[in-house]
Amino acid sequence: MKLNGIQIDDTFAEAFNMRGTRVIITAQNLKWAYHAANAMTGFATSVIGCGVEAGIERELNEDETPDGRPGLSILMFAMGSKVLMQQLETRMGQCILTCPTAAAFSGLESEDQISLGKNLRYFGDGNQISKLLPNAQGENKRYWRIPVMDGEFLTQETTGMVRAIGGGNFLVLGQSQPQVLAACEAAIVAMRKLPNIIMPFPGGVVRSGSKVGSKYPKLFASTNDAFCPTLKGGVKTELDMDIESVMEIVIDGLTFDDIALSMKVGIEAACGLGKDSGIKRISAGNYGGKLGPHHFKLHEILGGQ
């Protein structure tokens, strides 16, 4: 298969079950909402070392937020509910409670509820106040008003947690680092227009794709040597001689269809630059189908073009 003259490998991305949640962060203006959201989603690229994978989903205008202020939607993903709950609570306390004018609200309706401000209220040292307010479905939801030095911190007591998927991905292979990065940037711009997904790595792109295992017993992941251009002469490589750079875009999403659509949009945007852009192939990272139950087949996603 070729798309706009660029080869699409007959392979699949292998993804994993995760737990996910959405939090709505509002503030006096978008600048301060971003301060809070950027802090909360910091050091959250991969569960290999960060505990959670998190990112800003999109901006919200005043008509879309519970308190009528500008805000941001954040998605967070972890391999289990316990880790997700711990990370959410810690990041709420250190990054949202501390940020001037910020407030936090539930962004997901689900039977499974996890603490948002339920335990954080104790920071009020007995001076916190709760209130029940109906949501759009007429269900009463509890909010907490916690006294802080700039006034009050308002937070909803809980937010929803759902089953989600992490690790959807595709690889962009090209003739030079600048060319591959330009294609990835085009993909990220297109993908960020979609709901229910995040690309958690810096700028949405990861250069250090990994394989399972290592020659060093204590490491359970190491560099994906088959896709490292500088190792072409010394390992079993997946690269032709004219490939000098490979970068990966990793996607976490609330559903299989969300990730599949984002991969389609991203690949089409990268290939939209054409074969003269230096991009030679699009591939994907997998582990032979043995580790993750969700397989995103590139040819199927692209509709057999």
In the chain the beta strands, taken as DSSP E runs, fall at 2-3, 6-8, 12-26, 53-60, 71-78, 103-106, 113-115, 129-134, 140-148, 151-156, 158-174, 197-198, 210-212, 221-223, 245-253, 279-283, 294-297
Domain's final residue, options 162, 182, 212: 162
Whether 202 and 216 share a structural domain: yes
Whether 137 and 170 share a structural domain: no
* The predicted structure's pLDDT at residue 305: 47
Domain's final residue, options 117, 134, 162: 162
Whether 140 and 53 share a structural domain: yes
Whether 56 and 116 share a structural domain: yes
Give the whole-number percent of the chain exceeding pLDDT 70.
Answer: 99
- Average pLDDT of every residue of the chain: 95
Rounded alpha-carbon distances, angstroms, from residue 181 to 78, 186, 205, 246? 27, 9, 8, 9
Count the neighbouring beta carbons within 10 Å of the beta carbon of residue 122: 12
Domain's final residue, options 128, 162, 196: 162
Cβ-count burial of 288 within 10 angstroms (0-12 exposed, 13-18 middle, 19+ buried)?
exposed
Whether 150 and 171 share a structural domain: no
The domain of 78 spans 18-162
* The predicted structure's pLDDT at residue 288: 86
Is the pLDDT at 112 greater than 80? The verdict is: yes
Instruction: Express each pLDDT in 114-148 by its tens digit.
Output: 999 999 999 999 999 999 987 767 788 999 999 99
Whether 251 and 139 share a structural domain: no
**CA–CA separation, 262 and 253 (whole Å):** 9
Q: What is the mean pLDDT of residues 238-251?
A: 97
3-state class (DSSP) for residue 182: helix
**CA–CA separation, 294 and 168 (whole Å):** 8
Domain count, the chain: 2
Whether 77 and 144 share a structural domain: yes
Is the pLDDT at 285 greater than 70? The verdict is: yes
- Give the CATH number, domain containing residue 102: 3.30.70.520
Number of Cα atoms under 13 Å in the Cβ half of residue 231: 11
Between 130-134, 146-150, 177-181, 247-251, the lowest mean confidence (pLDDT) is in: 130-134
Whether 139 and 111 share a structural domain: yes
Which one-letter amino acid corresponds to residue 54?
Answer: A
Whether 9 and 28 share a structural domain: no
* The predicted structure's pLDDT at residue 136: 67
Tokens 């659509």 locate to 261
Whether 138 and 194 share a structural domain: no
* The predicted structure's pLDDT at residue 134: 79
* The predicted structure's pLDDT at residue 304: 61
Instruction: Express each pLDDT in 38-84 by its tens digit.
Output: 999 999 999 989 999 999 999 999 999 999 999 999 999 999 999 99
Whether 189 and 93 share a structural domain: no
Tokens 């591939």 locate to 283
**CA–CA separation, 47 and 51 (whole Å):** 5
DSSP string, 219-248: -SEEE-GGG-GGGTTTS--S--TT--EEEE
Whether 104 and 211 share a structural domain: no
pLDDT band at 163 (very low <50, low <70, confident <90, very high): very high
